[in-house]
Amino acid sequence: MQGNMMPVPLTIPFILERARTIFRNREVVSLLPGGRNQQGQPVPQRHTTTYGEVADRALRLAAALQGLELTPGDRIATLAVNSFRHLEAYLGVPSAGFVLHTMNIRLHPDQVAWILNHAGDRVLLIENVFVSMIPALQAACPTLEKIYVLGDLPEPMPGVESYDEWIMSHTPLERYPDIDENDAAGLCYTSGTTGNPKGVLYSHRSNVLHSMACAPKDALNVGERDTVLPIVPMFHVNAWGLPYTCTMYGARQIFAGMFTDGRTIAQILQDEKVTIAAGVPTIWLGLQNELDCARTAGTPYDLSRLERLIVGGSAAPEALLRGFQSHGLHMTQAWGMTETHPVATVSFLPPDIDPTSDEGFALRAKQGRIVPLIELELISEEGELVPHDGKTMGRLLVRGPWVANQYFRGEGQGSFLELGGQQWFDTGDIATLDERGYMHIQDRSKDLIKSGGEWISSVDLENAMMAHPAVAQCAVIAMDDPKWDERPLAIVVPKAGHSVTHEQLLEFITPKFAKWWLPDATVLTDHLPIGATGKILKRELRQEYRGYGSGQFPQRNDLT
Amino acid sequence: MQGNMMPVPLTIPFILERARTIFRNREVVSLLPGGRNQQGQPVPQRHTTTYGEVADRALRLAAALQGLELTPGDRIATLAVNSFRHLEAYLGVPSAGFVLHTMNIRLHPDQVAWILNHAGDRVLLIENVFVSMIPALQAACPTLEKIYVLGDLPEPMPGVESYDEWIMSHTPLERYPDIDENDAAGLCYTSGTTGNPKGVLYSHRSNVLHSMACAPKDALNVGERDTVLPIVPMFHVNAWGLPYTCTMYGARQIFAGMFTDGRTIAQILQDEKVTIAAGVPTIWLGLQNELDCARTAGTPYDLSRLERLIVGGSAAPEALLRGFQSHGLHMTQAWGMTETHPVATVSFLPPDIDPTSDEGFALRAKQGRIVPLIELELISEEGELVPHDGKTMGRLLVRGPWVANQYFRGEGQGSFLELGGQQWFDTGDIATLDERGYMHIQDRSKDLIKSGGEWISSVDLENAMMAHPAVAQCAVIAMDDPKWDERPLAIVVPKAGHSVTHEQLLEFITPKFAKWWLPDATVLTDHLPIGATGKILKRELRQEYRGYGSGQFPQRNDLT
């Protein structure tokens, strides 16, 4: 027997309508590039608008798109930084019945073209700072029919129009098309550290449910009184859904665009009275450094309004959480993937645990507990369920209404498996789950070090070494070993003006690990290779260093 | 084109599983009847359990129900107060594939039997304090096959078993049945002040979405660190969904059972360190009186942990909000109906308004703004859309994924109408909507006073008169008038030891109203008739007083 409830679909127009009506006076701030300074670096120019204006322009964009000869479900690509225009695309493209395809601006133009062609994008909205890519894309992408430039168009280009002029020549859409809640709304490609990038196709329903799941205080704690700075880019997993969550709940949004260095971020957090900010560990390391310097200089920033820093994208070491706590700032860890929209777990604490106690920090350094409607499981290499005892590692599986059930165009089938009659996504992570539900990622399965048939977590070792006062960055990888198959090797970037030896590092981390977990050697270097989404490219490190222990390692001038 | 997201249904087992796993140690407290005092009144006995225990017993209940010869979708009725056992039924009955039908314990046994038969209930879970009703129900309800008593069974009764013994003789359900998210999960009958009660059939999907919509801080602000006291009964619109919302987010729940007088509530709020409590204005008037007395006596309660009082069910006068503010307590108004699950609007304030300013109180005295996924409209008597200008009154229509699209067994078709190609529920309320989305209920359409072709809001007049220091309760109704058709009549219960005249009341409220809105007369009385859900029965008052102005009014000894 079915219930007698209205079959109202969960669609993005509900979010747009809240911006257009009850939150229409709420502010949206963007830092746009406003010329260059003497060093040739872009200078931020503060732009303010309101949700009402954004909604009006999003509806003009929707009408403009409907004026093109497109088919519902066609992909509209963006190559854009965080700004109010990108937010207009978030709201307007799906509300017109099309799919918003956000592309990573840090990729090589060849990769951009590959993804554009794979997605079959028919329209591209491109930030004016990237116009130099246009001719190559036009040449390489036959499905791409229309290109609109966000911001001032520096000079006329063939086949390229101004986004602002285009949308403002249309009146706002008066009636939304019929949208099924399972219709596609967004497309985002995984960073693709192995193989070609794979597309994750979000639905209206998944976007709406994810937005609702993120708002409560035990998730991201978003409300109308908040000012939210999503430093995480809008081209990467929808900036963790924050543009949608913030619009649904009327939070003031600050878009920092291309300005994400520690000093600019600190200044924005202070000047805009930000209450919630979200970013990857790399961003927060930069901020922490800036805050430390300012404190040392006796001119600390006033961040008294800042209630929560959200960290995700890769594991946040406990030292990072403690470092921010020393500034009175609370950092909350969240975990997810492009395939999970991304928020699946948040490291919120039960009421009996003090967040600033040792136990509190230890729990907050885990990836956290599931938000409603998400399920996690662990399986062994044999595919058997593994106990949730906080110790036994297993491959992490995830399931939920905002988790992918396949990749775009059916690729990557091996990542989806059936268990107990239900479909699960295999994250490729190795994790533990404890009795209270805390999930702790031990490693990417490909980054695990398999020593004598046992697993060693590179992430655990890295986090422990990161707490050493002389370590700026650190990666632990497997090197080949004739006896144990693989052994851990630490690759460390010391802090400026510091040095550290292998023995000092071992002495520092020995109390925390079994002896056989300890790295056999440490290499000092001046930088680690970083990929387009800000993660360390361990694949490259492994290629370079896998023969280190056998003496096959090529000579190089290590820093000492 | 559809998105590639898992088709995971939104079902109540997700809520149960969170209780069973990540929140299993969180406490659930019930005040059970523990004998009687010298005056013959029941005395509360504090019972504590955990979500883990509740989940275990809910799964035993689910298995026990599956052991009966029932069909999926069959209705399981409860006649119960707020307690952990009722929570077990909330979780276990729908998770077993059946429909939880919560019945109002304040109805006459004949009405209970009528509703039982209309619902076709096959199983009844009944609180032990109501066992005297059982023989009459057995005689009147042929579909009712099984009766289980919650709590100690005073003496053996034919065809009646102990709920505890029944469920504990089963092992917990190991695998949930396949449940579609649109399957029926709950059934609740409207209070039926006009005509027969009508059933609203909630679905799994509507319960899950409503729970998610209620949690954020701009709604009810529920999280794991909260202790929530739903004074609103679990037999009435699912206690505003709080048992589900609290379980989904792990909030500690306090069930006061039958103990809802001001003193007991004040004591519970203090002793249990409650952070959120929810109830109707009548309950809060009792509490405010108790707090006032305690303060006057120099022994105020310590309610420092209490963050939010949620008021709904009928309009909260501004005087009530101000009264609690004088105790440092923040009251938030929410609005909804049985047909809307109930939460549709919450009176949260934009960030530029101080909640304790005059404007803040005025806005908080309105019913508020829509939570995500709910839509409101206003139509005139001619069925035309009415402007959202904060002044023009119209019939309030509501729409959303947790709003009824019909009543059980297809009754009350006149309450559902089509507008712009979409189905809406006609609330029967007359309201305004302002530019920022604040909805303000002016009256039930049947309670509006139609004077000379214009509408006068009885609710507005009542709220203004309630602020007079001598007024305890007040109702304004229409009396017949030969010239104006109808004119307002005030019926007032003075506070103990106080008196007030019509002229004093007029002088008090005149600054707030147009002259033609002012009541023509005031009747003082010692009580107002109250219905089973705590609302004033204006229908009875109208029958008694409609001829007052024409001198046809029967003589009575009014208090002076």
Contact between B179 and B11 under an 8 Å Cβ cutoff? The reply is yes
- Chain A residues whose beta carbon lies within 8 Å of the beta carbon of residue B180: 2
CB contact under 8 A, B403 and A8: yes
What's the token pair of residue A43?
């200078």
Query: Which residues pair with residue A2 across a beta bridge?
Result: B183
The pLDDT of residue A516? 86
Taking contacts as CB-CB distances below 8 angstroms, the residues of chain A near B275 are none
Residue A34 DSSP label: E
Q: Which position has the higher pLDDT, B457 or A73?
A: A73
Cβ contact B188:B102 at 8 Å: yes
**Can you give the pLDDT at residue A258?**
84
The pLDDT score that the predictor gives to residue B126 is 97
| Residue A554 confidence (pLDDT) | 41
- At residue B460, the pLDDT reads 84
Q: What pLDDT, on the 0 to 100 scale, is given for residue B314? A: 81
- Predicted local confidence at residue A193, as pLDDT: 54
Poorest-pLDDT segment among A208-217, A300-309, B484-493: B484-493
Catalytic pick among B190, B260, B275, B332: B190
Say yes or no to pLDDT of A557 above 70.
no
| Residue located via tokens 């007030």 | B500
Domain annotation covers residue B69? yes
Inter-residue contact B385 to B379 (CB < 8 Å): yes
Q: Is residue B19 part of a domain?
A: yes
**CB B195 within 8 Å of CB B111:** no
Q: Is A491's pLDDT higher than 60?
A: yes
8 Å CB contact of B6 and A436:
no
Report yes or no on B443 lying in a domain: no
The interface pTM score, or ipTM, of the predicted complex is: 0.89
Indicate yes or no: CB of B10 within 8 angstroms of CB of A206.
Answer: no
Amino acid at B528: L
SS3 B285: helix
Q: How many Å apart are CA A455 and CA A443, to the nearest integer?
A: 10
Residue corresponding to tokens 């590179």: A458
User: What is the pLDDT, as a whole number, of residue A505?
Assistant: 94
Residue recorded with tokens 């005073």: B154
The active-site residue out of B194, B224, B381, B450 is B450
Nearest CA among B108, B194, B9, B85 for reference residue B100 = B85
Instruction: Confirm if B265 and B256 have CB atoms less than 8 A apart.
Output: yes
Which 3-state string (H, E, C) describes A39-63?
CCCEEEEEEEEEHHHHHHHHHHHHH
Q: Which of A216, A235, A259 is the last residue of a domain?
A: A259
| A36 in a structural domain | yes
Q: Which has the closest alpha carbon to B180: B256, B265, B76, B72?
A: B72
Cβ contacts of B235 within 8 Å, gap of 6 or more = B78, B79, B80, B81, B102, B103, B104, B105
Residue of B516, B519, B486 whose CA lies nearest to B501: B519
Number of H helices, E strands in chain A: 16, 26
Chain B environment of A375 (Cβ under 8 Å): 17
Distance in angstroms (rounded) separating the CA atoms of residues B116 and B122: 9
DSSP lists the bridge partners of residue A346 as: A334, A369
A425, exposed or middle or buried, with CB in 10 Å at 0-12, 13-18, 19+?
buried
> How many CB atoms are located within 10 Å of the residue B64 CB?
23
Q: How far apart are CA A315 and CA A427, in angstroms?
A: 15
Q: What is the pLDDT of residues A107-132, one digit of tens each?
A: 888 889 999 999 999 999 999 989 99
Separation between Cα atoms, residue A254 and residue A270, nearest integer Å: 12
Contact (CB, 8 A) for A198 and A192: yes
Catalytic residue among B339, B377, B462, B486: B339
Q: What are the angstrom distances between the C-alpha of B499 and each of A323, B503, B526?
A: 65, 12, 11
- Domain membership flag for residue B175: yes
Contact B373 A8 (CB under 8 A): yes
Mean per-residue pLDDT for A235-247? 96
Omega of the bond leading into B342 within 30 degrees of 0 (cis): yes
Chain A CB contacts of B205 below 8 Å: 3, 5
* Mean pLDDT within A4-32: 97
Q: What is the pLDDT of residue A550?
A: 64
CATH code of the domain containing A529: 3.30.300.30
Work out the minimum CA distance from A79 to partner chain B, whole angstroms.
21
Tell me which range, A190-199, A299-308, B450-459, B463-472, is most confidently predicted by mean pLDDT.
A299-308
Confidence label for A551 from pLDDT (cuts 50, 70 and 90): low
- Among residues A203, A169, A154, the alpha carbon closest in space to that of A68 is found at A169
C-beta atoms of B212 and A10 within 8 A: no
CATH number, domain containing residue B126: 3.40.50.12780
Tell me the C-alpha to C-alpha distance, in Å, between residue B56 and each of A135, B18, B93, B101.
64, 12, 13, 21
Buried b (16+ CB within 10 A) or exposed e, B400-422: bbbbbbbbbeeebeebbeeeeee
Question: Residue A19 pLDDT > 50, yes or no?
Answer: yes
pLDDT at residue A282 tops 90: no
pLDDT average per 10 residues of sequence, chain B (560 residues)? 97 98 97 85 92 98 97 97 97 98 90 95 95 95 96 89 98 97 97 76 98 98 98 95 98 93 96 97 92 96 97 88 96 96 95 94 95 97 93 96 96 90 94 95 84 82 91 92 88 92 93 88 91 80 84 40
Does B298 map to a domain? no
Q: Pick from A361, A351, A363: which is nearest to A390 by CA? A: A363
Q: Above 60 in pLDDT, residue A194?
A: no
Which has the higher per-residue pLDDT, A257 or A68? Answer: A68
- For residue A483, give how far its alpha carbon lies from the nearest alpha carbon of chain B (Å): 42
The one-letter amino acid code at B264 reads T
Residue of A92, A104, A148 lying closest to A123 (CA atoms): A148
B252-261: b (≥16 Cβ within 10 Å) or e: bbbbbbbbbe
- Is residue B71 in some structural domain? yes
Indicate whether B234 belongs to any domain: yes
**pTM score of the predicted model:** 0.90
Q: How far apart are CA B210 and CA B250, in angstroms?
A: 16
* A140 DSSP assignment: H
Cis peptide before A172 (omega within 30 of 0): no
**Separation CA B127–CA B153 (nearest Å):** 9
Final residue belonging to a domain, choices B193, B225, B259: B259
Sequence-separated contacts (24+) of B151-160 with Cβ below 8 Å:
B151/B32, B151/B33, B151/B85, B151/B127, B152/B128, B153/B128, B154/B128, B157/B131, B160/B131, B160/B134
CA angle A92, A95, A98 (to 5 degrees): 90
Of A5-9, A248-252, A366-370, A555-559, minimum mean pLDDT range: A555-559
Assess contact for A425 and A340: CB atoms under 8 A. yes
CA distances, A335 to each of A308, A466, A532 (Å)? 16, 20, 19
Quote the domain boundaries for residue B206. 13-259
Q: Widest CA span of chain A, in angstroms?
A: 73
- Domain count across chain B: 2
Q: For B29, which DSSP code?
A: E
- Across the interface, whether the CB atoms of B2 and A183 are under 8 A apart is answered yes
pLDDT of residue B560: 31
DSSP H/E element including B265: helix B262-271
Out of B227, B259, B291, pick the residue that ends a domain.
B259
For residue B267, what pLDDT is reported? 97
